[in-house]
Amino acid sequence: MFNIVLVHPQIPQNTGAIGRMCVNANLKLHIVKPTVFDLSEKAVRRAGLDYWKILNPKIWDSLEEFLEANLSHKDRFFFATTKTNRLYYEAEFKPGDFIFFGGESTGLPREFMDINFKNAITIPMGKEGRSLNLAMSAGIIAYEAIRQNITEFDFRSEI
């Protein structure tokens, strides 16, 4: 299981959509406060549909609290950012990895990524674009991590 970590998310619909993806992909969602919305907000639930009830995200009160509990795994921290040239599919993901995404308008703090900046990754984009939607980015990278480790995942086989 991979860990998707949203640091200070700002748009409830993105958080809900990522939660829905996490349930469907057998991922653990971590949300690091502060958020600019209430996690029980209708928009989060609407985007996550009925998946939000079974998601059971881990809510952290601060980045410091998260790091206190998880810093020993820093070698397996991956940071989605526009501040690197390393492409996400060049990373070698392993089950248990933490994949971090920052707030929609702020991204991840550079000083936080300096914990293990060699694991900063990006999604290639055209010259006119600045960044992709957060939920879209999380899906692209999460499913690449799963693709690399597909034999480790228990997905339904019936169609």
Query: Binding site: residue ranges?
Result: 102, 123, 131
Beta strands 77-80 and 120-121 are parallel
Residue 63 · residue 115 · CB < 8 Å: no
Q: Cis peptide before 34, with omega less than 30 degrees from 0?
A: yes
Question: Is residue 108 within 8 Å of 115, Cβ to Cβ?
Answer: no
**Residues marked as binding for S-adenosyl-L-methionine?**
102, 123, 131
